[in-house]
A and B are shown apart, each in its own frame.
Chain A
Amino acid sequence: MKIIPALIFPLLTVLAVFMIVTSQGVWQMDLVVFGLDNITVGLKATALANFFAVLIAFSLFAVSLVSGKQTPSKGFYFLLYLLTWSLLLIVYSADYLLFFVGWEVMSITTYLLLSYTLSPKALVKYIVFAIASAMSLLAAIMILYSTSHSFLYADAHQAYLALSDTLSVLFVVLMLFAFFVKIGVIGFHYWLVDAYAESDDFFTPYLSAVVSKMAVYALIILLVTVVDISLLPKSWIAYTLALLGLLSSLIAAFKAVNEDSMKRLLAYSSIAQLGYIVTVLSFADGVSGALYHSLMHTLVKLLLFINVAGIIYVTSKSKFSELGGLIYRMPQSFVMLLIGIIVLAGMPPLGGFASKYLIYNTLLENGNLLILSAMMFASAAAFLYIYKLIYGIYLGHPTSQKLESVKEVPVGYLIPQYIIATILVVMGTLPGLVTPYLNTILIELKLKTLPLASSAVLNTETGGYNGLIVMAAFVLIFIVILFVLLSLSSKVREAKDRFDIAYCGEVPNEGTHLHYGFSMGKELGRVGFIGVILQNSSRYFYDFISKQLFAFAGIFRKIYSGNLSMNFNIMALFVLALLWWSLK
């Protein structure tokens, strides 16, 4: 069995995280030994860190379970484990220095992992944005360090308060830029869609599930520990977060409908879902909703990307226009995707509703009514791309002969999906199950806790809902109706073949285009405001920036022309200037 050795490291990681979670340890170290005075770094197993560490360990485990006949390229798993350890370093670090180290290792290992499959263009996009994000983070950390001479989170709030007005604004802007790039907030998402779409099918679930969550973790640290957003309810920071998150959810939902590639659609869906988190983090109370939604999004994106990876493995097609009609050939995968999209749509009785419920309640309690309306509008608009996802792959008609003979995906793809789907169903039935753990985090962050009830009830200030009753009612009514339908005396005749449909009185055949999948959503462009969204892209902005940079570089190019004597003269002038400056 090849699968056993592949699982050793993930299991060790799960074990290590379990031990850390149960130990609640603190580890600190002065860097005096290394000649760095006054710098303390440390690791700390806070409840918040544990929460994200559990997500990382679970995701690694789920991704490692995926196994088919294809194995990833050489070195893939080594890099994946390196990435995992860098993520654990990010969440467990107690200071911005180790955090930055983890962040850099994460960016570089992600780059190496992406470099297996990405086109050069997409790879350059990724690395430019990753470096911009890291440099902006470094600059922000240095600004913070300039006043307190400490990297520790514990001193960060004092250090932030000691900053001058301009510097504090600059600090927050730089930090937000760094995290927005990683989250892929709309406008900063230019690298994300290509990277997700072209990355290795084994890696995309991990990329979407946890690597983007690191920025959510960092955002929570920044907003709650460093800036303390609860003191600034109507500040520009809150408005920036709320608006950018909302725009992400709205624009990405419409962009997703227009995509023909499954993974590109899911990438936009990730942007949209993380938009909810960014918006709700504009309130200190929103941390509970943000954490719950992170949990749900991690699980559901693992499920969906693994499902899509299975489809690509079996059919070697990745576009809706080349798929379709797979439901009766791959029934198990279909049911898994159905569970996934119900969670993604945030519908009761499954778990996705619980997190949306918390988010909506936070926005309602804080009186942010227009944002809440627009948020729910974005959530309703998401139905279109969610339906496109399931219809384009499983429903409708097969678009080629080859699809009529495919088989169900291998067990290696199904096992992780079953595990995740079970968790999602349990979370939907017992939405209050994680409330105590969320409360531990909230107490640690000195925030308002959620009212505690039984594990079947998810409570907030304005009232709760009982997941067990909703689930029980759903299942019972469903069974009764199905029973009634089946027990009726009328016979049911199966359609002769897939062409046995109502088709305006004509008889379709092999040559008729019957799959509606790839053009679904195209007609949305005819609606005024959606057309504006679909026709515009952040590409134009970045093209503009790069053109300006080229023009700017052109000036230097005229002087630094490659002519050797000219270069020597410039060098000499430079050295003379340096000498003059140092002797001055």
Chain B
Amino acid sequence: MIIFDLMGMLLSAYIVGFIYYGLYRNITARFQRRIGPTVLQSFYDSIKFFSKKESISHGWMFYLGPVIMMTGAIMTLFFIPFFYNSESFSGLSAYGNLFVVLYLMMLGPLGNAMGVGVSGSPFAVMGVTRGLTRMFAMELPFYIAVIALMSLNHSADIATIAANQTTINAFAYPLLFIGVLFSFVAMMGQSPFDVVGAPVEVYSGPAAEFSGKFLALLMSQSAIFSFAKLVLMVNLFLGGAEGFFELLGKTFVLFLFVIAFGSMYGRFKTPQSVDFLVKVPTAIAVVGLILATTGGQ
């Protein structure tokens, strides 16, 4: 039954996502010579937020914003197959390909923008504008690499791209992969591209107005969405996975890289990050695309 399959995907993404979120806080703390919270702390936090007695709302659209955001994250997850060679945990990926996933990934930011906009906090909207500005810049190297892969595999199907890798794409097309990694760091909201939620410059960024169960929903969304993005990257560039352990191993390596990268660099301003992303990673990815597509012939 597909419904059990989907529930399994959602549940595993939820659990793994929160464990990764906890690990992220813990490992970042170790980089900064702190001890940091326990791994399950984020999970406890979200449960606490879910059970808060009271939360403030700004009307019905304020409800729909986080709900659309969560829907976007879960849809993205369902259209990405976990394993390239098995029917189980492939979700709805037979009904939509990579183009669908690329656009579903933007559904969340749109829902968030609606909810934040209706709250009326100008600082939160400033965060959204920064987020949307950063978004188009970070998508550019990612799109270039993804399009190169689609063209090389003559398919926009994620499982096919994952299965076609004899040497994994990260090593076969290193320049494309390097270009994408910059995008990926930005997509995970890590330094140096983390100006959107920047708590120092902007008063808490897009999440400023959300409290109680709304905030809990946003946290769960972020955990699920992060895992979905990691699985997508593993499928596209790290050869996909055949079982849960391989999937966890590969996603964790990628995740560790993102944390380590983020811990090393300071924060870009919005124009700086756009400028950087459309220059350096894009140039690397374009060279990678040209080499990959002409070298294959």
Seen from chain A, the residues whose Cβ lies within 8 Å of a Cβ on chain B are 325, 327-328, 334, 338, 342, 345-348, 353, 356-357, 360-361, 364, 367, 369-370, 372-373, 376-377, 380-381, 383-384, 387, 390-391, 395-397, 462-463, 465-466, 469-470, 473-474, 477-478, 481-482, 485, 488-495, 498, 500-504, 513-516, 520-521, 523-524, 526-530
| Chain B contact patch, size range | 35 or more
Min CB distance B39 to A, Å, is 25
Q: Which of B22-30, B136-144, B235-243 contacts A (4 or more CB under 8 A)?
A: B136-144
Contact B140 A373 (CB under 8 A): yes
Contact A364 B110 (CB under 8 A): no
- A466, A485, A498, A521 pick with most chain B CB within 10 angstroms: A485
Q: Which of B12-20, B119-127, B248-256, B257-265 contacts A (4 or more CB under 8 A)?
A: B119-127
B132 interface neighbour in A346, A384, A469, A489, Cβ under 8 Å: A384
Contact B63 A528 (CB under 8 A): no
24 A-B pairs, CB-CB below 8 angstroms?
Answer: A327-B59, A327-B61, A348-B103, A348-B107, A360-B99, A364-B147, A369-B144, A369-B151, A369-B293, A380-B106, A380-B135, A381-B136, A390-B117, A396-B117, A462-B155, A463-B156, A466-B95, A492-B54, A492-B213, A501-B120, A501-B121, A504-B203, A514-B122, A524-B133
Collect the chain A residues with CB atoms within 8 Å of residue B55's CB.
Answer: 490-493
Collect the chain B residues with CB atoms within 8 Å of residue A474's CB.
Answer: 71, 75
Complex CA gap A413/B278 in Å reads: 42
Contact A387 B132 (CB under 8 A): yes
Complex CA gap A580/B53 in Å reads: 102
Contact B95 A470 (CB under 8 A): yes
B56 interface neighbour in A384, A397, A500, A523, Cβ under 8 Å: A500
Complex CA gap A530/B278 in Å reads: 11
Contact B92 A473 (CB under 8 A): yes
Known: A377-B136, A377-B140, A380-B140. 9 other contacts (CB 8 A): A364-B150, A373-B140, A376-B143, A383-B132, A395-B118, A463-B155, A465-B99, A527-B275, A530-B274
Contact A481 B129 (CB under 8 A): no
Collect the chain A residues with CB atoms within 8 Å of residue B96's CB.
Answer: 348, 465-466, 469-470
Contact B95 A516 (CB under 8 A): no
Does B283 interact with chain A (Cβ within 8 Å)?
Answer: no
Min CB distance A493 to B, Å, is 6
Complex CA gap A524/B66 in Å reads: 27
Collect the chain B residues with CB atoms within 8 Å of residue A384's CB.
Answer: 129, 132-133, 136
Collect the chain B residues with CB atoms within 8 Å of residue A380's CB.
Answer: 106, 135-136, 139-140, 143
Does B38 interact with chain A (Cβ within 8 Å)?
Answer: no
Collect the chain B residues with CB atoms within 8 Å of residue A477's CB.
Answer: 70-71, 74-75
Contact A492 B57 (CB under 8 A): yes
Min CB distance A18 to B, Å, is 35
Please name the 7 residue pairs, one residue from A and one from B, whose CB atoms are nearest each other, closest first.
A395-B117, A466-B95, A380-B136, A469-B95, A526-B271, A465-B96, A381-B136
Knowing A474-B75, A490-B212, A503-B123 are in contact, say whether A495-B56 is a contact too (CB < 8 A): yes
Min CB distance B130 to A, Å, is 9
B103 interface neighbour in A334, A347, A463, Cβ under 8 Å: A347
Knowing A465-B95, A490-B51 are in contact, say whether A346-B122 is a contact too (CB < 8 A): no
Collect the chain A residues with CB atoms within 8 Å of residue B57's CB.
Answer: 492-495
Contact B128 A369 (CB under 8 A): no
Min CB distance B288 to A, Å, is 11
Complex CA gap A527/B147 in Å reads: 26
Contact A501 B104 (CB under 8 A): no
A494 interface neighbour in B59, B136, B293, Cβ under 8 Å: B59
Collect the chain A residues with CB atoms within 8 Å of residue B75's CB.
Answer: 470, 473-474, 477
Does B67 interact with chain A (Cβ within 8 Å)?
Answer: yes
Complex CA gap A285/B11 in Å reads: 43
Contact A521 B129 (CB under 8 A): yes
Collect the chain A residues with CB atoms within 8 Å of residue B194's CB.
Answer: none
Contact B122 A516 (CB under 8 A): yes
- B78, B96, B155, B208 pick with most chain A CB within 10 angstroms: B96
A485 interface neighbour in B109, B125, B213, Cβ under 8 Å: B213
Collect the chain B residues with CB atoms within 8 Å of residue A364's CB.
Answer: 147, 150-151, 156
Min CB distance B118 to A, Å, is 5
Does B168 interact with chain A (Cβ within 8 Å)?
Answer: no
Complex CA gap A466/B144 in Å reads: 25
Contact B135 A383 (CB under 8 A): yes
Contact A502 B203 (CB under 8 A): yes
Complex CA gap A342/B72 in Å reads: 13
A-B contacts at CB below 8 angstroms, number? 223
Contact A516 B71 (CB under 8 A): no
Collect the chain A residues with CB atoms within 8 Å of residue B41's CB.
Answer: none
Does B270 interact with chain A (Cβ within 8 Å)?
Answer: yes
Proximity string of chain B (36-59) to chain A, C-beta cutoff 8 Å, 1 when within and 0 when not: 000000000000001111111111
Complex CA gap A481/B113 in Å reads: 18
Collect the chain A residues with CB atoms within 8 Å of residue B154's CB.
Answer: 462
Collect the chain A residues with CB atoms within 8 Å of residue B150's CB.
Answer: 364, 462
Which B residue sits closest to A352, measured CB to CB? B103
Collect the chain A residues with CB atoms within 8 Å of residue B278's CB.
Answer: 529
Min CB distance B177 to A, Å, is 16
Contact B217 A485 (CB under 8 A): yes
Contact A376 B139 (CB under 8 A): yes
Collect the chain A residues with CB atoms within 8 Å of residue B58's CB.
Answer: 494-495
Contact B136 A347 (CB under 8 A): no
Which B residue sits closest to A331, measured CB to CB? B60
Contact A369 B125 (CB under 8 A): no
Complex CA gap A463/B271 in Å reads: 38
Collect the chain B residues with CB atoms within 8 Å of residue A347's CB.
Answer: 103-104, 106-107, 110
Knowing A490-B54, A493-B54, A527-B271 are in contact, say whether A383-B106 is a contact too (CB < 8 A): yes
Collect the chain A residues with CB atoms within 8 Å of residue B123's CB.
Answer: 502-504
Complex CA gap A384/B125 in Å reads: 12
Min CB distance B218 to A, Å, is 11
Contact A370 B286 (CB under 8 A): yes
Min CB distance A424 to B, Å, is 16
Min CB distance A236 to B, Å, is 22
A391 interface neighbour in B67, B125, B289, Cβ under 8 Å: B125
Contact A391 B117 (CB under 8 A): yes
B148 interface neighbour in A369, A466, A491, A515, Cβ under 8 Å: A369
Contact B157 A463 (CB under 8 A): yes
Knowing A463-B155, A491-B54, A498-B120 are in contact, say whether A345-B100 is a contact too (CB < 8 A): no
Complex CA gap A488/B148 in Å reads: 45
Collect the chain B residues with CB atoms within 8 Å of residue A391's CB.
Answer: 113, 117, 125
Which A residue sits closest to B210, measured CB to CB? A502
Contact B103 A353 (CB under 8 A): yes
Contact A357 B99 (CB under 8 A): yes
Collect the chain A residues with CB atoms within 8 Å of residue B126's CB.
Answer: 516
Collect the chain B residues with CB atoms within 8 Å of residue A470's CB.
Answer: 75, 95-96, 100
Collect the chain A residues with CB atoms within 8 Å of residue B119's CB.
Answer: 501
Does B165 interact with chain A (Cβ within 8 Å)?
Answer: no
Knowing A369-B289, A380-B139, A501-B121 are in contact, say whether A527-B274 is a contact too (CB < 8 A): yes
Does B204 interact with chain A (Cβ within 8 Å)?
Answer: yes
Collect the chain A residues with CB atoms within 8 Å of residue B129's CB.
Answer: 384, 387, 516, 520-521, 523
